[in-house]
Chain A
């Protein structure tokens, strides 16, 4: 699957939150979208998921306009994790993850296998029977991630994942675990777009970085080209230096 925005703009309340954004994410690619608060990162995901229609330009999935897909059709190709979930009812962890399998016409036993595989990948087995609302913020996030990943786990070669700040509430171990899982899914052909705040984490695990500021694309390139002192200074208005730590470029501020 490939997903792309072509000269896409988005207006909300008479304000242009994205102007002429063009990006193309290939199958087998991890793309991080970074930028300061209000730069238009979540709006970009809203366009890519079809939740909002661009006011100008277009959004294409497999070179076909996104809006030509019905929502059921789309849910079998694209899975999205929003920033916060409003789930406030006592479901068990297993029940929540199973909801991700709703769009798929697969058997219950097949779905159970998928749920347990995804749980293993995200270190959730020991929480299976716990009630979702009693979990900590990071645990809840992992459950929601598992739900979103379970949605397309059996067809990673035909999958687009959109994650809005997936690692924000996670501890170091689970951040790494999740990003390694993304690499694994990428190798299986998944197309992954995520909004990130941790620039070092983003540059380490992404193939491409899209740097946004005020609804414009400042950079759209491999991490080494997108994460430079001058571009980061321009985007965030702070002084930064980039240092080489044993072959790994690290942003220091």
Chain B
């Protein structure tokens, strides 16, 4: 498929999904009626105060997670890498759990709230990964440091769960599943802070292309690998941390979407990054709309759906790719 065609199709798809998503829900709203001003006041409130911020949030989070996934996969030269590798999600989980279990007594966490705590945790964990790998010249050390930090974080969450009451445990696990329920314009405003970071990462596309050749090759082409790595990791950590702090952990989109895009239009990051962002936004809308509408009036946490569908789909991708490379 040509690139122009892919972008056109992706963009049209995103707009259509936006329209469909905005009309669907516990109450159906016709967006055309709404724009021509014939909709009822209730419909207007549902649309502008509940549904629209939620859809915009879907787009920002989906785009951010998928774009970070694409960048992290390029940086680690591994199509199976995920932003979670640099500790972002697990760090957020520890701090969010700490807030939910001890938050009320602990002054710093209490001030930060669950979102602020999660953001803080993401940044702390990523810094820890970078600190462990600081002296190293190799990308694989960062991977190992990430695995170690993730393992420590997981056990910390386990310990916190052990110490928690049943009600606290329920809120910890609910938070870890991710949900767009109750998104407000204020939350969208916070999430929008990640957009400049996305743009900065896009400016690294040609260097991302080069780093896939290998660290030594990139150095030979005049790219400072350590600086690039730092910029990318900090940028992606910021994007994912902001997302996690607002809607919890959304798994598999950062892994599956870039992978899928790479299979259709190749690896050139100048195209891969924006196409992943659009694709991530589209899939986020689909997933969240399903979560809102499948079991009305109840809602499914979106992280469950993305993992439930994303996991098997990813296995399928691995299998067809294996076959392809054997040819």
Contact = CB atoms under 8 A, between A and B. Distances in A.
Contacts of A75: 220-222
Contact of A85 (B207, B214, B262, B325): B214
A86 B213 contact: yes
A28 interface: no
Interface string A65-81: 00000011111101110
B44 interface: no
In the A-B complex, the 8 residue pairs with the smallest Cβ-Cβ separation, listed nearest first, are A75-B222, A89-B267, A72-B222, A103-B222, A86-B214, A80-B220, A91-B267, A89-B212
B49 interface: no
Interface string A174-199: 00000000000000000000000000
Looking at chain B, what size class is its interface with the partner chain? 20 to 34
Given A71-B223, A91-B268, 8 more contacts: A51-B216, A75-B220, A75-B222, A76-B222, A89-B77, A89-B262, A90-B262, A90-B266
B219 A71 contact: yes
Contacts of A100: 221
A200 interface: no
A131 interface: yes
A166 to B, nearest CB: 15
A78 B221 CA distance: 9
B6 interface: no
Contacts of B216: 51, 82
B220 to A, nearest CB: 5
B22 to A, nearest CB: 36
A119 B74 CA distance: 26
Given A82-B214, A82-B216, A88 B222 contact: no
B210 interface: yes
B79 interface: yes
B209 A91 contact: yes
B217 interface: yes
Contacts of A133: 325
B267 A90 contact: yes
Nearest to A95: B268
Contacts of A92: 266
A95 B222 contact: no
Contacts of A80: 220
A206 interface: no
Interface string B262-300: 110011100000000000000000000000000000000
B224 interface: yes
Contacts of B77: 86-89
A79 B212 CA distance: 17
A90 B207 CA distance: 16
Contacts of B263: 90
Give the most central of B79, B213, B219: most A CB within 10 Å.
B213
A89 B74 contact: yes
B173 interface: no
Interface of A: 49, 51, 71-76, 78-80, 82, 85-92, 95-96, 99-100, 102-103, 131, 133-134, 147, 151
11 contacts: A71-B224, A75-B220, A85-B214, A86-B213, A87-B77, A87-B214, A88-B79, A89-B77, A91-B212, A95-B268, A99-B210
B264 to A, nearest CB: 10
Nearest to B214: A86
A85 B216 CA distance: 9
B15 to A, nearest CB: 28
A99 B222 contact: no
Contacts of A90: 262-263, 266-267
Nearest to A80: B220
Contact of B222 (A49, A74, A82, A134): A74
Contacts of A95: 209, 266-268
Nearest to B206: A102
A249 B219 CA distance: 39
Nearest to A70: B222
Given A76-B222, A89-B77, A90-B266, A102 B210 contact: yes
A79 B219 CA distance: 10
Contacts of A71: 219, 222-224
B45 to A, nearest CB: 47
Interface string B219-244: 11111100000000000000000000
Interface in B138-177: none
Contact of B220 (A49, A86, A91): A49
A169 to B, nearest CB: 17
A147 B213 CA distance: 11
A102 B270 CA distance: 14
Given A87-B214, A95-B209, A99-B209, A131 B266 contact: yes
Interface string B182-207: 00000000000000000000000011
Given A89-B267, A92-B266, A99 B220 contact: no
Give the most central of A71, A92, A133: most B CB within 10 Å.
A71
A82 B207 CA distance: 19
Contacts of B222: 71-76, 102-103
Nearest to A75: B222
